[in-house]
Amino acid sequence: MSAQSPCVVGVALKRAKRYKHFNQKLLEKAAQNGIQLRFVDKDVPLEEQGPFAAILQKVRKPEWEQMLVEYAAAHPEVQIFDMPEATYPLRNRGTMVSFLDGDGWQFEEPAELVEPGRAPQRCRCNVPTNTTLAEGTGLEAALAQMAATGLRFPVLAKPLWADGREGSHALAVVHTPRGLERLVAGQAAYLQLPVMLQQYVDHGGCLFKVYVLGDTSGYEKMPDYEEYMVQFLRSVCLRDKAQQQQAAAQPGQPQQRGQHPPKPPQAAAGPAPAQPAPE
């Protein structure tokens, strides 16, 4: 691959996602390896923006998806990650987790990594017990579904759709039948049926984000939001104490008080904090 003809990879993302995932350092490192990352304008025909060796895309608009399908048919040599139909199971939380329902997947440490005299390590990957409440489900039917699937309070309520539409990242913890009644009655404006109910699991404030690309994988531990808040509140208390001392030393001077807590570091941002529970 010559420097005069770089491998062009088209990137189709929402503008906010561009800045989150493709910083200048990444663009420069790609260029050093002969790869040009080119942001695609989803409102301009792809034929006018290529040629491409590959396209990375995460846009959920029918017009764009149709254009992508037509471009792929005309250019079978272009690798597209991923074609729209391949993403459909991931846009619905019910189908997203279905392959891990029940016993899930069991993993065993490769034999070549097992030390002599030690049994291979094993782990199981599955999802918490869950059920989907369809639009129009009433309280009695919802309680019956919970009983049939073995769910018990508290449960997490999540929108069934996970396709990036407004509200798709909403979340509530439902503690009681009264809270469930409010949920199915549509009284939680940010969370409407259909929803997935999932058994609440106390994870101790520890979450991991796992990345898989072909045979390469990695993970990072998400920031502990509670600990982050404790540190912030501690700093607020220290600042307020200093302000009180200043006020005592300089009576009559206006004091600036109060501040919203900062967000966790963006580089390792996790899911948004849960919305207030319906009760």
pLDDT higher than threshold 90 for residue 235 = no
Sign of CA dihedral 181, 182, 188, 192: positive
Name the pLDDT band for 124 (thresholds 50, 70, 90).
Answer: confident
- For residue 67, pLDDT over 90 is answered with yes
pLDDT of residue 167: 85
Q: Is the pLDDT of residue 239 over 60?
A: no
pLDDT of 274 strictly over 50:
no
Domains of the chain, start order = 7-87 (3.40.50.11370), 94-199 (3.30.1490.20)
Contacts for 2-5 with beta carbons within 8 Å, 24 or more apart?
A: 2/34, 3/34
- Rounded to two decimals, the pTM is 0.67
Q: Distance (Å, rounded) from C-alpha 155 to C-alpha 74?
A: 48
What does the pLDDT average to over 83-99? 91
For residue 69, give every residue at least 6 positions away whose Cβ sits within 8 Å of its Cβ, in sequence order, or none. Answer: 83, 84
Contacts of residue 246, Cβ cutoff 8 Å, sequence gap at least 6: 253, 255
Residue 230: per-residue pLDDT? 56
Residue 217 has pLDDT above 90, yes or no: no
**b/e burial code for range 182-214 (CB count within 10 A of at least 16 → b):** bbbeeebeebbbbbbbbbbeeeeeeeeeeeeee
Write the burial class of residue 242 (CB in 10 Å: 0-12 exposed, 13-18 middle, 19+ buried): exposed
Cα separation, 100 vs 130, in Å, equals 11
Asked if residue 133 lies in contact with residue 180, where contact means CB atoms within 8 angstroms, the answer is no
Q: What is the reported pLDDT for 40?
A: 96
**Mean pLDDT (whole number) for 149-156:** 96
Instruction: Give the pLDDT confidence score for residue 225 in this predicted structure.
Output: 53
pLDDT band for 210, please (50, 70, 90 cuts).
confident
User: Residue 244: how many CB atoms within 10 A of its CB?
Assistant: 12
pLDDT category of residue 247 using cuts at 50, 70 and 90: low
